[in-house]
């Protein structure tokens, strides 16, 4: 029986305070002290994932999407599927997947999908479009498969994709970059970079479809091979060229690509810095050397 005397009540209050302090220290009251982590959005109406047709690129036209605002993904292994994202996605966790989604920039973020702080992401069957300050997709350790980058606009130096260390861009379509950015795909490699089976169309107005221009810091951080093979490339002054900081770049392979005849100056400007083989015009014509 609990007595109501002053001493007994004071002791009970002290015991209760100690219990509350212990519970808080053990995380039992975490819900009262901290906000719960943001849930990874799911879109039930998109239905279960099914592999697209082999020639599919971008988000499927008939797929119902769920609208969300820009978000940062901090949950390792998170899967974002069937989303209509206004703004962009920042990935700071490992092994994230973005699939069957459309990301439309509103000019408030550097990129549509961006890896930071060691994050990594696989992007599948997704369209990135709209207004960004830097690129449609950028960062290190990302893979894009069957992705469309189209209708990008914003900063005059906007790039379609900026490929850092550990990046693969495969079976995707890059086109219709607004403004005078130097490259539709800027390969800034430091190792393990693959650009394969894409259609990259720079269009008229200067710049290039692909520029290989690694910053010295990245080159020292993760040296390794850079492979650009089996792509259809077109447009620009030089459709594919090496940048000003590419001196000393090793293990650069440019093979089996097909070039359209719509470059203002020439298809290639690769002065002795790469292994070149089996690069032709789309009509089967032979290319000359690597350019001046």
> What pTM does this model have?
0.83
Closest listed residue to residue 189, CA positions, set 144, 126, 253: 253
Nearest 5°: the CA angle 272, 285, 170 is 65
d(Cα 285, Cα 278) in Å, to the nearest integer? 11
Q: What is the pLDDT of residue 154?
A: 83
Three-state DSSP state, 203: coil
CB burial string 42-52: b at 16+ within 10 A, e below: ebeebeeeeeb
Q: What is the pLDDT of residue 4?
A: 28
Q: What is the pLDDT of residue 232?
A: 98
Beta-sheet pairing, 96-99 with 111-115: unpaired
- Which residue positions in the chain have pLDDT lower than 50? 1-37, 292
Q: What is the pLDDT of residue 291?
A: 54
Q: What is the pLDDT of residue 5?
A: 34
d(Cα 42, Cα 198) in Å, to the nearest integer? 29
Q: Which residues pair with 240 in a beta bridge?
A: 210, 268
Q: What is the pLDDT of residue 246?
A: 58
Report pLDDT digits (tens) over 212-234.
Answer: 986 655 555 666 788 999 999 99
Q: What is the pLDDT of residue 177?
A: 84
Q: Which residues contact 171 (CB under 8 A, 6 or more apart)?
A: 57, 145, 146, 196, 197, 198
């Amino acid at each position: 029986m609990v007595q109501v005397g002053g001493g007994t009540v004071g002791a009970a209050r002290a015991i209760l305070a100690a219990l509350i302090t212990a519970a808080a220290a053990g995380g039992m009251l975490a819900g009262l002290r901290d906000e719960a982590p943001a849930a990874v959005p799911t879109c039930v109406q998109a239905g279960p994932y099914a592999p697209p047709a082999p020639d599919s690129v971008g988000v499927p036209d008939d797929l119902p999407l769920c609208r969300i605002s820009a978000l940062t993904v901090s949950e390792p292994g998170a899967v974002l599927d069937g989303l209509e994202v206004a703004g962009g996605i920042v990935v700071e966790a490992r092994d994230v997947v973005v699939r069957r989604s459309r990301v439309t920039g509103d000019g408030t973020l550097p990129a549509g999908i961006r890896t930071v702080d060691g994050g990594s992401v696989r992007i599948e069957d997704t369209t990135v479009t709209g207004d960004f300050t830097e690129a449609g997709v950028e960062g290190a350790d990302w893979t894009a498969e069957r992705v469309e980058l189209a209708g990008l606009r914003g900063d005059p130096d906007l790039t379609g994709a900026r490929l850092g260390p550990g990046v693969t861009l495969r079976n995707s379509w890059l086109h219709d970059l607004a403004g005078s950015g130097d490259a539709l795909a800027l390969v800034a490699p430091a190792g393990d970079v693959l650009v394969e089976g894409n259609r990259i169309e720079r269009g008229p107005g200067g710049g290039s479809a692909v520029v290989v221009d690694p910053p010295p810091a990245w080159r020292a951080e993760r040296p390794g091979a850079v492979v650009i093979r089996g792509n259809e490339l077109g447009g620009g002054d030089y459709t594919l060229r090496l940048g000003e900081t590419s001196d000393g770049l090793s293990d650069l392979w440019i093979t089996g690509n097909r070039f359209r005849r719509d470059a203002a100056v020439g298809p290639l400007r690769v002065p002795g810095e790469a292994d070149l083989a089996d690069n032709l015009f789309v009509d089967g014509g032979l290319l000359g050397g690597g350019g001046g």
